[in-house]
A and B are shown apart, each in its own frame.
Chain A
Amino acid sequence: MNWTSMNDFFAMGGYALFVWGSVLVTFGLMAAEVLGLRARHAAIQLQLHRLHARQLRLHAGKP
């Protein structure tokens, strides 16, 4: 084990800004990409469901 305490771990031997600045931004941006993909997928699904429903209504309206 490298660390004697929680504070020691977070201090990263005085390099906290650099190490945590790298790690947090990396995983933060990856998480943001996943959330963006989820939103994009939901948006196109919703749009297609609406389109589908409208087509069904149009068909139903025809004699």
Chain B
Amino acid sequence: MLDSRQVPYGATSTRRLHWLRLAAPQEFFSLARKVIPWFGAAALVLGLAGLYVGFFVAPTDHQQGEAYRIIFVHVPAAWMSMLIYLVMAFWAGIGLAFNTRMSSMMATALAPTGALFTFLALWTGALWGKPTWGAWWVWDARLTSELILLFLYIGFMALQASIDEPRRADRAGAVLALVGVVNVPIIYFSVKWWNTLHQGSSINLQSAPTMAATMLIGMLLMALAFWAYTIAATLWRANCIILEREGHTDWVRGTLEEVK
């Protein structure tokens, strides 16, 4: 049985080993630095295309008029808020279980962007709720559980910021992130489990989408743009964290000379 730990560092005999090498901050840093501009550019192009389809191609909704166009930012932001939390908890958990510091740094890097999208989901939701429901905010299951998600992100960041020793902060944050994961399915299924004011999903894995094709395309383009943005932003933040934590090492000194 070939064990990756028995292969000398730097070996690239199989694809699997190649990916495992990214657990080393040095490897991660140089790959991330290469791909960040590409994901950034993809986010820009997809975002512009999504806005074009959303505002110039997709028709007016016969019930909600133009107010429905909030969907093009609201739904992708809400999806990202949940997805980022799952990815964050995954990496935090891996970091806790295997003591891999790069995983923990990735979790820390994801939190602010996740919090941003959670706030945006709530903000755009309030701006959509007012004209359609007549209320900025209601304490229904979907909205309340999404608010709890925002508090989980903020709690994760505050907890990590309050602990000086990075590896202890990683572990404490991981426990919080893993406990909070239970909230994500609650958000997702809240519109099914409870009678909520929030509408059910128009898009799910069980049935065909219940919306016009151009609306769907606009929304998916925006979702892809938010994905690309999230990858670019979180890799960039992870690289900042690497420099902050590992600034004393020889390889970081090497990259400084490269940049000069």
Contact = CB atoms under 8 A, between A and B. Distances in A.
A19 B240 contact: no
A6 to B, nearest CB: 13
A52 to B, nearest CB: 6
Contact of A12 (B59, B69, B112): B69
A33 to B, nearest CB: 6
B247 A51 contact: yes
Contacts of A54: none
B124 A22 contact: yes
A45 B113 CA distance: 22
A29 B59 contact: no
Contact of A44 (B119, B120, B244): B244
Given A19-B67, A19-B70, A44 B243 contact: yes
Contact of B116 (A1, A33, A51): A33
A44 B65 contact: no
Contact of B73 (A15, A22, A45, A47): A22
Contact of A48 (B67, B229, B256): B256
Contact of B77 (A19, A26, A34, A40): A26
A37 B243 CA distance: 13
Contact of B247 (A2, A41, A48): A48
A60 interface: no
Interface of A: 1-3, 9, 12-15, 17-19, 21-23, 25-27, 29-30, 33-34, 37, 40-41, 44-45, 47-49, 51-52
Interface of B: 47, 51, 55-56, 58-60, 65-67, 69-70, 72-74, 77, 112-113, 116, 119-120, 123-124, 127-128, 130-131, 229, 233, 236-237, 239-240, 243-244, 247-248, 252-253, 256, 259-260
22 contacts: A2-B55, A2-B58, A2-B60, A9-B55, A12-B66, A13-B65, A14-B65, A14-B66, A15-B69, A17-B127, A18-B67, A19-B70, A19-B127, A25-B124, A26-B124, A30-B116, A33-B233, A41-B240, A45-B259, A47-B247, A48-B253, A51-B248
